[in-house]
Amino acid sequence: MATRDYDVIIIGAGPGGYVAAIRAAQLGLRTAVVEQAHLGGICLNWGCIPTKALLRSAEVAHTVGNAATFGVVVDPPRLDVEAMVARSRAVSRELNAGVGFLLKKNGVDVIWGRARLAGAGAIEVTAPQASGRPDPEAPKDALGPGRYAGKHIVIATGARPRTLPGLEPDGDRIWTYFEAMLPPSLPRSLLVVGSGAIGIEFASFYRALGCEVTVVELLPQILPAEDGEIAALARKAFEKAGICILTNAKVVSVARGKDHIAATVEHAGKREELRAERLISAVGVVGNIDGLGLEALGVKVDKGIVAADALGRTSVAGIYAIGDVAGAPMLAHKAEHEGVICIEAIKGLDVQGLYKLRVPGCTYSRPQIASVGLTEERAKAGGRKIRVGRFPFRANGKALALGEPEGIVKTLFDAESGELIGAHMLGAEVTELIQGFVIAMQLEATEEDLMRTVFPHPTLSEMMGESVLAAYGQALHIPPPGQARR
């Protein structure tokens, strides 16, 4: 096949890759995107979207199971896990088709296969490798294996589950998040190793469906990236829901039985054996850098990710990296923005690099967790003088009306300038509320700006305003600090 020439070739059609491709096409660049398995990447097909569909099913089950609280009497709900999985897969298929439609309408060529850098400004594409999971077929008009030339090549290959020795997934007793989304049946007991967002979301999902769930975390705090106060409150909520949590705990070994796994866990100075029907390994992810030909071209790799600057530029001119493969935070929305920034820089537009402290993080457990900016611990470690505001869900009318009284909104301000430097939330729908604080931080809002903002009533968002007031001793719907509520 003759070499085809492009202005930009993007390797990987996940959130970062396909968004970068669309933006490149919008700017008049002849663009192609290479994909070997999923338009939309892991996020759309096996991560963000299908897991949220499953968590929605768990939320509905919880609501129906507690319907009598709202004056609605129903028969005990019956769980149909097969139907839950089928719905989550249908949602992913619909969005997958949507990505293909957008690429086609924007004039982006899709090359179906596995790409490898083949010298300056060139890639070699071979047939895709089977993933062992149901993969969508290539678009009918996709190009195939061959050699392609691109003046600019953007690596957006994403990440995959990290594997620890002794916890190698087997698709039967030990799962990664792939298998956890396609359970053949509902396990009666589950051991989750790792308490980051992925581990906690699956722990929350399976517990909501009645499974006995134990979470094992190596560090002293679950949700290690979150504010310590929020993580502690989240732990109490999870334990109240029946999840057993072990921190400062290490899985020493795992034995696979015919109908169970037996994990030896070192905890509190002793070793104990934990048995469960299934184990989910959720110990993080690693960048997909293997087989790309990076070493041959001298592209710098640092601790398993491609080293890139704030505009996505690597150590080799004409080669860029965005998204998970370029490092933390490994989030779809961060990848999308990096893709746009990278392409606009390639085009020569006046752009600024992504300020990662303003990238929000969300965990879709029950209760939800959302945050942006500095944690209280990081702010203090950096020597900043801060003001902290807190407002509880229990003091909010909408939260009580929804039957969601457990939660908190926490805000951090620079004590000298009044700048909002962090926001941390726990409770119902906080993943939808956090964007208000993200916008405020992007606009470098101060406490005065936020105090003058009118929040609608009755809403959960009122708590955001009250938290700001609380940081300055002006909260209206909770007692002053140190005074009991009458």
**DSSP letters along 97-163, please?**
HHHHHHHHHTTPEEEESEEEE-STTEEEEEPPPP-SS--PPPPTT-B-SEEEEEEEEEE---EEE--
* Angstrom distance (rounded) from CA 163 to CA 323: 20
* Angstrom distance (rounded) from CA 216 to CA 412: 30
**DSSP letters along 414-482, please?**
ETTT-BEEEEEEEETTHHHHHHHHHHHHHTT-BHHHHHTPPPPSSSTTHHHHHHHHHHTT--SSSPPTT
Please classify residue 136 by burial: count the beta carbons closer than 10 Å to its beta carbon, then call 0-12 exposed, 13-18 middle and 19+ buried: middle
> How many Cα neighbours within 13 Å face the side chain of 195?
28
Annotated catalytic residue within 62, 152, 333, 457: 457
Q: Supply 477's token pair.
A: 């719907």
Do β-strands 249-256 and 261-267 pair in parallel, antiparallel, or remain unpaired? antiparallel
193 phi/psi in degrees, rounded to 5: -100, 110
Q: Supply 108's token pair.
A: 């982006």
- Which of 406, 354, 20 minimizes the C-alpha distance to 240? 406
Please report the sign of the dihedral spanned by the C-alpha atoms of residue 439, residue 445, residue 447, residue 450: negative
Residue 382 identity:
G
* Angstrom distance (rounded) from CA 12 to CA 17: 5
Query: Cα–Cα distances in Å, from 463 out to 103, 414, 460?
Result: 40, 20, 6
Inter-residue contact 211 to 189 (CB < 8 Å): yes
Residue 199 identity:
G
438 phi/psi in degrees, rounded to 5: -65, -45
**Structural element, H or E, at residue 87:** helix 81-105
Inter-residue contact 113 to 129 (CB < 8 Å): no
Inter-residue contact 31 to 8 (CB < 8 Å): yes
- Asked, as a colleague might, if the bond just before 458 is cis with ω within 30 of 0, I would say yes
Inter-residue contact 216 to 249 (CB < 8 Å): yes
* 333 counts as catalytic: no
The residues annotated as belonging to the active site are 457
